Amino acid sequence: MKIEFTPVIIIGAGRSGTNMLRDAICKAPGFETWDCDEINPIWRHGNTQHADDAFGVELATPAVRSYLRSKFIAQWKRQGQPKYLVEKTCANSLRVSFIASIFPEAKFLYLVRNGNDVAASASKRWRGEMEIPSLPYYISKIRNTPISDLPHYGWRFLSSRADIYLGKKQHMSFWGPQFPGLKDLPTDTPLMELCAQQWASCVNTSDEAFAALEPSRWIKTRYEDFVANPHASIRAVFEFLEVDVSDSLIEKTTSDISPKSVGKAKKLGQDFNETVRNILAPAMVKHNYTD
């Protein structure tokens, strides 16, 4: 099943700025995306019973490969057959090799953000403080969920929030990328430790996959560098994608980018204990974060 466009897959842990990057590049001519914020049910179709979102290449069966390629082609046609089709499901940070094997045409944009800031921001999502109650949002989610999988995801949606609704817990049972081992953690694991482990698992798994992937297929950007110098950062992204870059295009695509969320953990007065710092430390050091 031939693909006549370039799938652009943005990889990053939840709360790492992947929406920002997607929205920026999709302002450029020839770039389109999906009508849904994330399409995890599509990525998981054929593997819905897998325990987590970490998919190895062995799960890219012929049926799964055919299904995913057909879904991308259908979306490409709906969007007017653009040169680039962009997707940014955060759980994909746990299955880069799986995606790379299914889409050899794909280019990957890897976005890494300070783990302290991600953990602080993600904790708000785990507590349900940033839910999007808009009906169109949920309709788009349903529309991009395979019909046969709807009962599975309906139950997951309700069960993840049940403890909050019943007043049993202060946060959801799960949110964002389902990393290996999440279900085995004690139910009283502190929320910030969950957030730290989620970020570390996403980053470490992505690092390992990209180390084995051809350098010509991916480019890495740190969130903090991107928002500090968006002109240079977006230029590097477009040049990697072999897009003609003009000053007017740079201005158009970076007009909404702001560094105001850098240092979010400190701004929120978040103080991490030693356990959380130890979880974050290896990946923080690798990506040149000092605090």
Higher-confidence residue: 242 or 170?
242
pLDDT for res 166: 67
* Sequence ranges of the domains in the chain: 6-286
Mean pLDDT of the 182-202 span = 94
Output the pLDDT for position 152.
83
pTM above 0.75, yes or no: yes
Mean pLDDT calculated for residue range 34-45: 96
Give the whole-angstrom CA distance, residue 199 versus residue 281. Answer: 11
Residue 135 has pLDDT above 60, yes or no: yes
pLDDT over 80 at 178, yes or no: yes
Contacts of 214 (CB under 8 A, 6+ apart): none
In this prediction, residues 95-107 reach a mean pLDDT of 98
Q: Work out whether strand 6-11 and strand 84-87 pair parallel, antiparallel, or are unpaired.
A: parallel
Q: With a cut of 90, say whether residue 164 has pLDDT above it.
A: no
What pLDDT does residue 27 have?
97
Nearest CA among 191, 170, 201, 206 for reference residue 280? 201
Q: What is the DSSP letter of 213?
A: S
| pLDDT-above-70 percentage for the chain | 96
| pLDDT for the residue numbered 131 | 57
| pLDDT value of residue 64 | 98
CA nearest to 117, candidates 267, 10, 11, 228: 267
Q: Please provide the size of the chain in residues.
A: 291
Yes or no: is domain 6-286 CATH 1.10.3470? no
7-27 confidence digits (pLDDT tens): 999 999 999 999 999 999 999
Confidence check: pLDDT of 145 > 80: yes
